[in-house]
Structure formats: structure tokens, C-alpha cells
Structure 1
Amino acid sequence: MDLLEKLQILADSAKYDVACTSSGVDRGGVSGKLGNTISCGICHTFSSDGRCVSLLKVLMTNYCIYNCQYCVNRRTNDVPRTAFSPRELADLTINFYKRNYIEGLFLSSGIIKNPDYTCEKMIKVLQILRREYQFNGYIHVKAIPGADSALIEQLGILADRMSVNIELPSQQSLRTLAPDKSKESILTPMKQIRNRIYENSTEIVKYRYAPRFAPAGQSTQMIVGATPDTDYQILHLTEGLYKNYRLKRVFFSAYVPVADNPLLPSVDTKPPLLREHRLYQADWLLRFYGFEAKELLDEKNPNFNPLVDPKCNWALNHLELFPVEINTAPREMLLRIPGIGVASVKKILTARRTGTITFEGLRKIGAVLKRAQYFITCNGKLAQGLKITQDGMLRCLLSGGFEHSQENYEQLSLFSPAQVTQEDVRKCLTGQM
């Protein structure tokens, strides 16, 4: 099999892994080395300075000794198999880089022979790139669960970011769909990476030229929709991973049916893309808006509302906290107002030091008044001409154009578990409750 055929097979096999993220590393060019790494987006996205950057996203091999039922590369699946040699993949990466096709490498792999053998092959690729070609660009590598800790250490020294895919949200799901894997085998390298990153941060203070270990941190991925696990379970696991393992990102991948298996959704099931989107929105609230998982979902309401985003849903179920006076509210409360984001809150806090903020001023700052107007006052007054009706409020808060297509949804479920009447909405927004 020639190199192009290998690339087509192994790049296609890698498309189901979504754990690609901004680099988180600033490393300038060095004389005698090839390339640099700037804090920017990757995989066909845009950086803060407007550049479009991308990675070569590929598997080392799609041979795999495991038989994970949700994976296209599982042992029992009849697909074309191939593998790169370390030299082939390193040369391919450098040639693509020199032609300005890519700005880095995202390397994952199926498990061939055993985790240690696979990890050694991946280390060899990175050694050729870093030491022989003096490649100074961005590399994201997937750590292999079950590999020896010394091999994980070597990978971390050579890569910018590492990730260990947790794949499924519960031990029961892993036992059912991926019997060759265990929660412990996944969390052990994740814990090692966390500890080594922390140790490395102190080494750099003491020794100027201490080698960096995964300077862009670590991330993980969870598959959404392959198992009965609820959004409540997924979000609580996500929060725990951020707190206990100091992850940079948790990625969610809507399950794409690749197998006709009674344990999985049928092959004609559409990927739950809206559910994935809601989880990303909730993830953003956990990381930047000061929310906790228990505030967004509970056991009585274990899944996100498909009609409104999690922040709006929370606000609708806590109308007793609104309206918020924009000129006096603390930062924590400003962040919870629908239509007002982190950047807008910073501008509001700066602007109100020198004057009074009006609705027109909020519009210029960048707040989405279509949503925010129902939850705020400026100088104790509601927006001029605002008509507070339940239907009008819902139309402004509904996302994705669902207000025009209600065949599959119940509008009243927006206020679950407690139903809120039009009079309740009016009282809350005028400060009478």
C-alpha cells in the first residue's frame, strides 16, 4: 500500500476523535529549528490574529486489539487496515509543514500488539520530529491507557498537549460497550499527566532549561448518545474532571452510528448534534460563568431543554432573582443574565465606574438586548416599550428557530419543573416578587 492510500485510510479513521483545541502554547521560532507554536486555534479554525491554522490529524494505525462496540476501528469490524512506520509519518508531517498545508500534528492510534508497543511507536515519531528535524511546531498526542508510566513521561516531554479519552461517562457503559477498557486504566494516566504537569511547573522555576512537560495541558473526550447516560451524569463527570484532574477541555462527540448492534442506537439514528451543542454551552458556563453542575441539572430534570440554552433555562427557572439592576449588580450576577457574556461583563464593570449605563449603552457594549431586556433594569427602569408576555419572552429566548417548528416539542416544558404563568413573569420582571 502506498503512502497516499495509507493517509486516506488513517486520516479518515481519525475523524471521529474531536479532541482538538487551541494550542495554549506560545513558543517562538528558534535558530536552527523548524517552525513555532503560537496560542491559536487548530483543525481548520481561526486564531486571535485572524489566521486559519490546521493540523495533520491522523492515526498511527487503525489495527486494534480492542473491540469497543462504538468504534469504527474495533477488532471485529471489516475495514481496510494499515499502519504508518514512524519514519513515514514523520516525513509526511514535515513535508506537509514545509508546503504550508499544516501547522502541527494531532496523533492518535489504535492499539497494536499492546499499549506499550503502540506508545513506543508514537514516541519514535515524535523523537524523529523533535530531534532529527528539530520541529518546533505544535504536537497533540493521545496517551495510550494501560501504557507504562515511563512511556507516558516520554510522550509528555515531546508533545505540547496530551489527552486520554474517557469515551463513555460511566463504568457500566464501559463494561457493556468496551470490556477491554476500565475506568482505572483511563484515569491512571490522566492522574499521572496532572501530577507531572504540576511538578514541571516547579522545576521550571528552579531550573531555567528544565524540559517542559505537556505545556498546553491535557484534555479528554466523551461520546454522547451511544449509551443511556443522561446529561446530568455527563455534566457532573465533566465538572469532576476539571476539579480533580485540572483538564484544559472536555470535548463531547455526538455518537455517529457505525455498527448494527443491539447495544447501540440503530444505524439510521441521527447523531444527537443539538444535545452535543447544549453540553458545550453548559461546559462554557462551568468554566467561565461560575455555574456548578447541580445548578443546571438535577435528578428530576436530568437532560437539557432542546429549546433554550442552559443559561436561559436556568434564568427561567429562577425568575425570583430577576430583574437585575445593571448599574449595581455584582459581577457574579451579571454573568448569569441571558444575553450578557464574559466580555460584556468586563465592559459593563469598566463603564459604570465613570457613568450610568443605559439600554443604548448596553447595546453598544455588545449585550444581546433581545434576551437580556427581560432580566435587567437600567436606573430602576425596564426597557422602554417592552411588552412582557410569556409568548413574546419565549420567542426571544428560543434558539435555533424552534419557535417556527413545534411539532416535536411542548412549549410549556420550558418552565419545568414548576409552571410559570404570564402573571408570574410580569411580577418577577417588575420586582413584585
Structure 2
Amino acid sequence: MLIKLELLERIEEKLSILADAAKYDVSCSSSGSNRKNKNKGLGDTGAGICHTYTEDGRCVSLLKILLTNFCIYDCAYCVTRKSNDIKRVSFTVQEVVDLTINFYRRNYIEGLFLSSGIFKNADYTMERLVRIAKKLRQEHHFNGYIHLKTIPGASDELIHEAGLYADRLSVNIEIPTESGLKLLAPEKNRQDMVKPMEYLRNKITELGEEKRIFKKTPIFAPAGQSTQMIIGASGETDEQIVFMAQRLYRDFSLKRVYYSGYVPVSCDNRLPNIGSAVPLVRENRLYQTDWLMRFYGFQADELVNRQYPLLELDIDPKLSWALRNLSCFPIDVNRAALHLILRIPGVGVRSAQQIIMARQYGALDMEQLKKIGVSINRAKYFIICRGYKQIYSDQAAHKIKQYILATSQSKYLRRHCQQLNLF
């Protein structure tokens, strides 16, 4: 009895340490998987399961842990770097399996997010991650969501096997720029990160095409792959970050790029602003920019470029673009194509689609746009609709000025509006 109690206390200690270390990895939401329960297995993965909320509003959670916080690398920005003076612990394969099953049976979790420090080498670590997913699927018939971190440098065979058991795989790109990676993580190689991403892209595409022809083709990473970039650790601009994200989406067909603001977890003279974390609003602006590229048809160079390398923190990037491109406005919502309506501040994707549908039955006015879900207080400065026409006269410019001053105290934006002769 005493031995059992000691074992439980030891596992509880490991869980506390390795769950806390895992909190710096933010790429654990939105699976997009649809793994159905068969043969009276355990659990079920519905489309859209995520770390906090599903698309239908349910609050769910994942067991989010590291397999170990031992690591052979000494990355300046990482809490588990080998030179950090922290307590080192590791789970066994069976301990992670038991925790997942027991937590699930108690309705604590709906899935597992598993990452790890690297002990010995990439293959040694990756093999243990795969064994955990394999035991959950085959021995316990666990159908819940599983997200595995792919270890850069691991063999294609292990990555392939991981894709057969995990819903999503991800490879952290770490630092957005090559120079930043060499400075802060000189032991790591960008090619070791790119290679598994290329393999996953090709294999997901290949097996996806086979699945259309052969029903018995095995499911392979049905929720695709994602990655994460650490923001602010190497002094990169938003332009460099956004352009890197665009390349990753284009070259590797990623489901998501996640942006994790640098948190000072260790002292190193290579790191900037020791003692202060990256503002959360910067992360938010990057996610908004990411959304504009993925769903609104914007290109990276429209949102950030050499002239505007940093995103404005006081206003969202869509409004910032609109103010820099007033020649594109006003837009007639009753005549313009969908891609133009999507560029109006205050109009979301769903609202734009509803405008296209509703205007088939008659011209839309302000009241109807409001009912559709358009943010009129923002959109009215950029649109034409039935009974309303925005003309950029002195009076209209004054209204825009008042709106901006009411919603932002940015000296940069005031100066920019002066350059556009809005004031």
C-alpha cells in the first residue's frame, strides 16, 4: 500500500512538472478530425474538437503534457534547455497511456496533446511518442483526439507510423528567420524541420487521393499538420513573420500556423527584453492577419511590406489596410464581387456571403446590412448601399477622423491619416 501511494505521488509530481512545461506550446486547437467509434471502442472524435471550445460552443479539454523535459539541445528561448537548472522527469510509455485512459473515463479530457523534449536522439524520442499513440488506438481502442509533435530529424518510417495513429501532426518551425534560429538554437537545422513537413504534405495528399478510389486506404493524419513560430525572441519584424507564414501555407498545405509570443523563461544575452513578454495584442494582430490571408483573399505584401513592416497594434490589420488604400473605396455592396466585399472593414466572411445571397432579391440598405451582421459603425465609412452613399468629401473625411480618434489613440495612425489628407 505504501509503495502504491509513493508511485501515485511520483506520477502526480511528473504530471505537474510536464504539464506546466507543455503550456508554452500553443498549437493544440481545432483538430478537424472525424474519427468515429467502432466496435465499442473508447471515445469519439467529432469534427472541430479543440483545446477549449468546439465549433458548437462546447468547452472541452485535452491532456496536454510533455513526455519528458530532458533535452539534448540548449535553445536560448526554451524552458527545457539542457543548461536550465530545473527538475528533470520523464513519463514511461505506459504511464502516459494510463493517464489518458483514466482521465478520459472520468470525463476530464476528450483527447491527448503530446510533445516532448529530445533525449538521446530524434528517433529514440519519436519512437516512444508513436508507441503511446499505437497502444491507445490498438490496445485500448481509443478513438479520441490525438495530436503528436513530430520530432525534427526523425525517420520517415516513424513519421509515417505516427500519421496512422494521430489525428494531427505538427513540426515546430521555432524561429521565423534563419538568422534567428542560428543565433538562438545553433544546434538545430532548418532542413530537419522542413523535411518532415514535406513528407507529411506528400503522404497526406497521396493517401487522400487513394482514399477516393479505395475505401480501405488507411486514415493518415486526418486533421492535417500544423506548426508554431515563437514571436519576438529574435527581433524579427511582422513582415518577416507574415511572409514566412504565407510560404508555409503555400509550400506545405498546413492547416494552421500558430504564433507564440516569447515569454522570458531563462536569462541569455542573446534574448531581447529580458523580463518582459511579447504583448498579447501583437499575437492577436498576427492571428488576424493570418485569418485575412486564409479566408479573405489578402496577400502578405498587402498587409505588411517594407514601407509598413510592423502591424499597427491599436487597430486591426483590415482597417489599417483600408485606410492605406482609400482609392479602393467606397464599395457598392449591391454590385461588387465577393472578393471586394470581403475587404470592407466590419464585414466578415459569413456576412459577405449573406450579402451576395440576399441582394438577389433586392437592393440592400443599412438596416438590412445590420440584420445580416455587418458592423455598421465601422463599415459605413467604406460602402455604398440603397439610400446611402459614402463620398470622400471634407465632411466624410471628418467623420472618419472622429471615428478613428474615438477608437484609437495611436500617434502613428493620426500621422498616417494626415498623410492621406483625411485631417
Fold conserved between structures, TM > 0.5: yes
Task: Check whether the contact 1:305–1:414 (CA below 8 A) recurs between aligned residues.
Answer: no
Post-superposition Cα deviations, 1:297-335, rounded to whole Å, max 9, x if no partner, equal 111211111121111011001101111111101101000
- Partner letter of residue 366 of structure 1? G
Q: Which piece of structure 1 moves more, 390-399 or 222-231?
A: 390-399
Shift of residue 383, structure 1, vs aligned partner: 6.9
Residue matched to 2:339: 332
Residue matched to 1:316: 323
CA RMSD of aligned residues (A): 1.9
1:51 aligns with 2:53: no
Residue matched to 1:431: none
In structure 2, do the counterparts of structure 1 residues 388 and 36 end up closer, same or farther at CA, with 3 Å as the change threshold?
Answer: farther
1:10 aligns with 2:12: no
- Partner letter of residue 11 of structure 2? L
Distance 2:259 2:349 in 1: 22
1:234 to 236, 241, 247: 241
Residue matched to 1:393: 400
Residue matched to 1:272: 279
1:191 aligns with 2:198: yes
Aligned residue runs from structure 1 range 246-325, under 5 A: 246-325=253-332
- Partner letter of residue 45 of structure 2? T
Distance 2:72 2:372 in 1: 55
Alignment partner of 1:345: what SS? helix
1:133 to 129, 140, 164: 140
Distance 1:374 1:307 in 2: 18
1:412 aligns with 2:421: no
Task: Check whether the contact 2:342–2:352 (CA below 8 A) recurs between aligned residues.
Answer: yes
1:27 to 11, 20, 35: 35
Distance 1:254 1:14 in 2: 15
Distance 1:394 1:119 in 2: 56
Q: Which piece of structure 1 moves more, 30-39 or 276-285?
A: 30-39
Task: Check whether the contact 2:365–2:387 (CA below 8 A) recurs between aligned residues.
Answer: no
Shift of residue 41, structure 1, vs aligned partner: 3.8
Task: Check whether the contact 2:261–2:277 (CA below 8 A) recurs between aligned residues.
Answer: no
Alignment partner of 2:119: what SS? coil
Shift of residue 271, structure 1, vs aligned partner: 2.2
Residue matched to 1:88: 95
Post-superposition Cα deviations, 1:227-281, rounded to whole Å, max 9, x if no partner, equal 1211111111101111110000000001111122111123322322111111100
Distance 2:174 2:415 in 1: 31
Shift of residue 388, structure 1, vs aligned partner: 4.3
In structure 2, do the counterparts of structure 1 residues 155 and 40 end up closer, same or farther at CA, with 3 Å as the change threshold?
Answer: same
Post-superposition Cα deviations, 1:140-190, rounded to whole Å, max 9, x if no partner, equal 000000011111111111100000000101111111100111110100001
Task: Check whether the contact 2:70–2:119 (CA below 8 A) recurs between aligned residues.
Answer: yes
Distance 1:49 1:324 in 2: 33
Unaligned runs of 5+ in 2: 1-8
Distance 1:47 1:61 in 2: 29
Task: Check whether the contact 1:21–1:42 (CA below 8 A) recurs between aligned residues.
Answer: yes
Alignment partner of 1:374: what SS? coil
In structure 2, do the counterparts of structure 1 residues 391 and 41 end up closer, same or farther at CA, with 3 Å as the change threshold?
Answer: farther
Residue matched to 1:210: 217
- Partner letter of residue 42 of structure 2? L
Q: Which piece of structure 1 moves more, 27-36 or 375-384?
A: 375-384
Alignment partner of 1:352: what SS? helix
Shift of residue 122, structure 1, vs aligned partner: 0.7
2:111 to 101, 104, 112: 104
Q: Give the structure-1-normalised TM-score.
A: 0.92
Task: Check whether the contact 1:324–1:375 (CA below 8 A) recurs between aligned residues.
Answer: yes
Distance 1:188 1:11 in 2: 28
Residue matched to 2:44: 36
Unaligned runs of 5+ in 1: 424-433
Distance 1:117 1:353 in 2: 61
Q: Give the structure-2-normalised TM-score.
A: 0.94
In structure 2, do the counterparts of structure 1 residues 398 and 108 end up closer, same or farther at CA, with 3 Å as the change threshold?
Answer: farther
Aligned residue runs from structure 1 range 155-166, under 5 A: 155-166=162-173
Distance 2:401 2:38 in 1: 55
Q: Taking every aligned residue pair, what percent have the same amino acid on both sides?
A: 48
Task: Check whether the contact 1:308–1:398 (CA below 8 A) recurs between aligned residues.
Answer: no
Count of matched residue pairs: 414
